[in-house]
Structure 1
Amino acid sequence: MQNCKLSSVNSSPRIYRSLPRFDSSRPSAVTIGNFDGVHRGHQAILARVADHARKHGLAPTVMTFEPHPRAYFAAKGHRPELIPTQVSSLRDKMWSLAHHGIEQIVLERFNQRLADMSAQAFIEQLLLRGLNTRWLLVGEDFRYGHKRGGDIELLRSMGARHGFQVETISDVADEHGHRISSSEVRTALAVGDLRRAEHLLGHTYHISGHVVHGQKLGRSLGFPTLNLRVPPLCAVRSGIYVVRAHGLAETPLPGVASLGVRPTVAGDGQVMLEVHLLDCRIDAYGKLTRIEFLEFLRDEEKFPDLPTLTAAIDKDARSARDYFAVHGL
């Protein structure tokens, strides 16, 4: 058993929770969307925004919404089953946007005020006064404002009057012609299809978070765990996974993880990610780590007693070792 040397993980762009910006009048190149998962389709959009901004001296900017508009209207209508699951946490979304060249992120609160805002006010208050928008990239079917009353034609008309350009982008498809979307990513994750999710995301799926204190039951069973909270309505199938932990040592650390409500030992229904590192003991409380999901092993189960649970964890750890023996770290 080795003691692993800690390392740290990284920074983010300017984030605005209200407009107009309090510290800048710099003109912006803007795109608007939820960007859950920041998949390959999103990445194509972000690359276009970053490229145009660089060539024209603009601030590459994303305007996104919290909560998701669909979640807001589903909650308002007392239809929780219509709330979409989340591919990524807010932290992971911010990190991904920054990683793809975005320097400004507007986290616009989606509430009744925004839902009631007219399409023209949306343009004037958020895009013009809020961000000094000079170039805007949106999907061909982009709608905005009260009851989705605004369309591309109004954007172009207002752009001609106020001096900003509007460009549209069609859906991004993979090499087989299949549309890449957050819904497709959610579907793949819901069934534990990590290969499909990786294909859509352009990278292996991961969850980041600070290590928090758990029940410390794993330690008494001989399998100490790092515990992380996961996004509300996490899109990933509950179960046991082979994982790698990043940001806790100079190299990634191999592990096995349980994502779920821990039915054998807890009854509170709270979803947690519990990671057992293989052959490595580390005091990581409070540290930020990124857990990379490599292979789905099995569904979460409720066991009759702790010895049966311990035997299952031991088997899962052996399966993870077999994975790394074949694939390497």
Structure 2
Amino acid sequence: MELLRGVHNLRSAAGAGCVATIGNFDGVHRGHQQILQRVQQQATTLGLRSLVMLFEPQPAEFFRPDQAPPRLMSLRDKARTLAAQGVDQLYCAGFDEAFRSQSAAAFVADLLVDGLGCRYLVVGDDFRFGAGREGDFAYLQRAGEQWGFGVEDTPTCELDGRRVSSTWVREALAAGDLALAERLLGRRYAISGRVRHGDKIGRTLGVPTANLLLRRPPALTGVYAVTVNGPGLKQHPGVASVGTRPTVDGRDWRLEVHLLDYQGDLYGRHLDVTFCHYLRPELKFDTLPALTAAMQQDFVHARAWFAAAGLSS
């Protein structure tokens, strides 16, 4: 998949045209996958490339940086997931004051037509664009007739009578309901990142952990049975704690993973941590020995879950 940035030279990168869709695609959940499937079908029919346009930062992060909901995935993970869905090109539009204030007409003419060379556009049923959210599906239909591109919206993707959305995924993760999150995503929830040097408190407690620094507050917190993939690792069982480590300092958000029955140096490796089973909430303990005892119990419970699930631990 080709990653495109910046409006300059965008048309030459887009080539002869594309079938496009636009949105945040946070989580790339089943609703997003339904849209992507339709994009792929049209791209094949028309002999064009498929393209996803998304925003960085996400609009809610631009308008309300202190109140924006947690991201379900980083830009890197989003790109990887979209590539796995078969998307040919990803255009990451910088969402700033200039972008926010452009009219719906300028968005269509300058970006969709002159920039992307859009020949067909697939959008979700709630898509709005332009200053003041003036553009909607009816506006796109009229613009398509004017500029010569096709437009279609996709029906709502529902599960148990409710619309599948990134908000619902966040609610499931916040409640520790990994089974529901998996149903909404079509896969287990995962976070990836590069292992960094920490303060090595876990090592002093006899429980070494791989420390992944989280740049934003996560969509879930607590202690989980996880599997880890990365260089030299495949579905390796472990126990992960996501939070601010209230017993130690309670400051930065971190994902710390202890790999069960593992010996080796993980520093600098990029790991994918998949959340399999919720064990308990993150707690503040009065002493480090109390924390260590709780961690040992976490390992016992995780091993029991892995055994019941038919996975080695």
Q: Give the structure-2-normalised TM-score.
A: 0.95
Distance in structure 2 (CA, Å) of the matches to 1:88 and 1:165: 31
Q: Does 1:25 align with 2:32?
A: no
Residue 245 (structure 1) aligns with: 228
Q: Give the alignment partner of residue 284 of structure 2, picking from 296, 302, 310.
A: 302
Q: Does 1:58 align with 2:41?
A: no
- In the alignment, is the contact (CA less than 8 A) between 2:209 and 2:257 conserved in 1? yes
CA separation of 1:67 and 1:286: change in aligned 2, threshold 3 A: same
Q: Does 1:122 align with 2:107?
A: yes
Q: Percent identity?
A: 46
- In the alignment, is the contact (CA less than 8 A) between 2:35 and 2:124 conserved in 1? no
Residue 94 (structure 1) aligns with: 79
- In the alignment, is the contact (CA less than 8 A) between 1:89 and 1:231 conserved in 2? no
Distance in structure 1 (CA, Å) of the matches to 2:246 and 2:73: 24
Query: For 1:23, what is the secondary structure of its paired residue?
Result: helix
Distance in structure 1 (CA, Å) of the matches to 2:214 and 2:226: 15
Structure 1 residue 24, shift from structure 2 partner: 4.2
The code of the aligned residue for 2:35 comes to I
Distance in structure 2 (CA, Å) of the matches to 1:84 and 1:92: 17
- In the alignment, is the contact (CA less than 8 A) between 2:43 and 2:49 conserved in 1? yes
Q: Give the alignment partner of residue 113 of structure 1, picking from 87, 98, 105.
A: 98
Distance in structure 2 (CA, Å) of the matches to 1:285 and 1:264: 24
Distance in structure 2 (CA, Å) of the matches to 1:211 and 1:63: 30
- In the alignment, is the contact (CA less than 8 A) between 1:86 and 1:231 conserved in 2? no
Distance in structure 2 (CA, Å) of the matches to 1:54 and 1:285: 43
Residue 156 (structure 1) aligns with: 141
- In the alignment, is the contact (CA less than 8 A) between 1:89 and 1:230 conserved in 2? no
The code of the aligned residue for 1:43 comes to Q
For 1:269-315, what per-residue CA distance to the aligned partner results, in whole angstroms no more than 9, with x for missing partners?
11100000000112121111100001111111111222111111111
Distance in structure 2 (CA, Å) of the matches to 1:308 and 1:234: 25
Q: Give the alignment partner of residue 295 of structure 2, picking from 286, 308, 313.
A: 313
The code of the aligned residue for 1:317 comes to F
Query: For 1:307, what is the secondary structure of its paired residue?
Result: helix
For 1:103-135, what per-residue CA distance to the aligned partner results, in whole angstroms no more than 9, with x for missing partners?
111111111101110101000111111110000
Q: Does 1:274 align with 2:256?
A: yes
Query: For 2:163, what is the secondary structure of its paired residue?
Result: coil
Q: Give the structure-1-normalised TM-score.
A: 0.90
Distance in structure 2 (CA, Å) of the matches to 1:70 and 1:37: 15
Residue 233 (structure 1) aligns with: 217
Residue 4 (structure 1) aligns with: none
Q: Which has the higher contact order (CA 8 A, sep 6+)?
A: 1
Structure 1 residue 140, shift from structure 2 partner: 2.9
- In the alignment, is the contact (CA less than 8 A) between 1:194 and 1:204 conserved in 2? yes
For 1:195-220, what per-residue CA distance to the aligned partner results, in whole angstroms no more than 9, with x for missing partners?
11011001111001111111111112
Distance in structure 2 (CA, Å) of the matches to 1:139 and 1:300: 37
For 1:21-47, what per-residue CA distance to the aligned partner results, in whole angstroms no more than 9, with x for missing partners?
253423110001111100011011111
The code of the aligned residue for 2:76 comes to R
Residue 177 (structure 1) aligns with: 161
- In the alignment, is the contact (CA less than 8 A) between 1:227 and 1:275 conserved in 2? yes
For 1:32-88, what per-residue CA distance to the aligned partner results, in whole angstroms no more than 9, with x for missing partners?
11111000110111111112112211111111111121221124xxxx23x122111
Structure 1 residue 263, shift from structure 2 partner: 1.3
- In the alignment, is the contact (CA less than 8 A) between 2:188 and 2:275 conserved in 1? yes
Residue 172 (structure 2) aligns with: 188
In structure 2, runs of 5+ residues without a counterpart are none
The code of the aligned residue for 1:251 comes to K
Distance in structure 1 (CA, Å) of the matches to 2:233 and 2:56: 34
- In the alignment, is the contact (CA less than 8 A) between 1:47 and 1:101 conserved in 2? no
Residue 291 (structure 1) aligns with: 273
- In the alignment, is the contact (CA less than 8 A) between 1:257 and 1:274 conserved in 2? yes
Q: Does 1:259 align with 2:242?
A: yes
CA separation of 1:183 and 1:251: change in aligned 2, threshold 3 A: same
Q: Does 1:15 align with 2:3?
A: yes
